[in-house]
Amino acid sequence: MASLASRILSNVLNPMFPFKMLLRGYSLCVLMVDTMWVIINAMYAILQAVYEVFSPPPKKSVENEMALVIGAGRGVGREIAIKLAQLKAKVICVDNNEVNNTKTVAYIKGNGGAALSYICDITKKKNVDNLAKQIKNELGFVSMVFYCCGIPSPRSLMTEPPQDIHDTLDLTLTSYFWIIDNFMEDMKVKNHGHIVALTSVAGLSYIKHQKPLSVAQFAVQGLAESLMEDLRVNKITGVHVTLMHIYPFIVEDSSELRMKIPSYFGTITPEKAADSILDSVRRNYPESSVPKHLLFLGHLLRILPRKATVLIRDLLDTGVDFA
């Protein structure tokens, strides 16, 4: 007891004691102010998000933007390219299928739009680097990038065997990284641009016998969030990243595939999906989904306990049934 009292007395008589107490008090005040600042800004962000549900921000113009669409030969990529041209953007159509890509460009030009065709196997880094160099030399600054590869159709999910993990990652993730690496630095320098990342329902839940695809789609989400954080840390406000979750399957009108709960999960055509994607891009949303209301489901699945998320996934059943 005496030794304890002695230690307390020595601390009190220590000439540095008042300074230590003052420093601790200052640190506590800074912590309290920072905590209040975070709480207030978090509440403001929540209120702003709720407000934007009922009053969305205005759409920006894409007129004269140089838009690069990877995978423009078919499906949602083709429709995005067509609709960008209708909005007066200059569209760079890239695909490894020359016939399909040429048809897309011909359709755009036939309807008064501006488009050019480039054929490239983007799973090879050398090809991507050469493509980027050629586009920059011939067309100049690319201000928008849409990567539409690796989004599977329901028929391919049901009838095709799972791909090799390397092939899937090369197409869905690695090639996308190379594309961003070639074009995003120019956007940062000019403080102007937009990167759009598309993920399928495989990035929401595991799909039976498609483990490589699910891994790749989850990875695309991580890449998009990393890009957003990089722009935030470097205080680059003129370059935007939009992460699009395509939760329903995008199908043709004539498809025989149906969802287990079509009234809720739904199936839509590539045309409607492209409309929804471009609506979110033109409003500079950092994250959105097709359809938009299912974005909240994705957020819910991130915070619920594991058992709860499994129950919800089983209810929705992200597989497809033949009608």
- What span, in angstroms and rounded, lies between the C-alpha atoms of 252 and 241? 28
- Residue 167 binned pLDDT confidence (cut-offs 50, 70, 90): confident
- Residue 319 binned pLDDT confidence (cut-offs 50, 70, 90): very low
- What span, in angstroms and rounded, lies between the C-alpha atoms of 80 and 146? 8
Is pLDDT at 164 greater than 70 in this prediction?
no
Strands 249-250 and 114-119, sheet pairing: unpaired
Confidence (pLDDT) at 292: 77
Q: What's the mean pLDDT when you consider all of the chain? A: 80
Which residues neighbour 66 within 8 Å (Cβ) at sequence distance 6 or greater? 89, 90, 92, 139, 140, 141, 142, 143, 144
Residue in 127, 132, 168 with CA at minimum distance from that of residue 151 = 168
Q: Which residues pair with 69 in a beta bridge?
A: 93, 146
Query: Which letter does DSSP use for residue 61 in this model?
Result: P
Confidence (pLDDT) at 144: 96
Return phi, psi of residue 246, to 5°: -95, 95
Most confident of 142-151, 156-165, 180-189: 180-189
Q: Give the residue with greater pLDDT, 144 vs 153.
A: 144
Contact (CB, 8 A) for 172 and 222: no
pTM confidence score: 0.78
- Residue 241 binned pLDDT confidence (cut-offs 50, 70, 90): very high
Strands 249-250 and 267-268, sheet pairing: parallel
Q: Give the residue with greater pLDDT, 80 vs 267.
A: 80
Return phi, psi of residue 271, to 5°: -60, -45
Is pLDDT at 146 greater than 60 in this prediction?
yes
**What is 59-322's CATH topology?**
Rossmann fold (3.40.50)
Confidence (pLDDT) at 162: 52
Contact (CB, 8 A) for 144 and 196: yes
Q: Give the residue with greater pLDDT, 10 vs 145.
A: 145
∠ CA 308-312-313, nearest 5°, is: 115
Confidence (pLDDT) at 259: 47
Boundaries of every domain in the chain: 59-322
What pLDDT digit, counting tens, does each position of 174-230 carry? Answer: 888 999 999 999 999 999 999 998 887 655 555 555 667 777 778 888 889 999 999
Confidence (pLDDT) at 14: 58
Average pLDDT over residues 14-42: 80
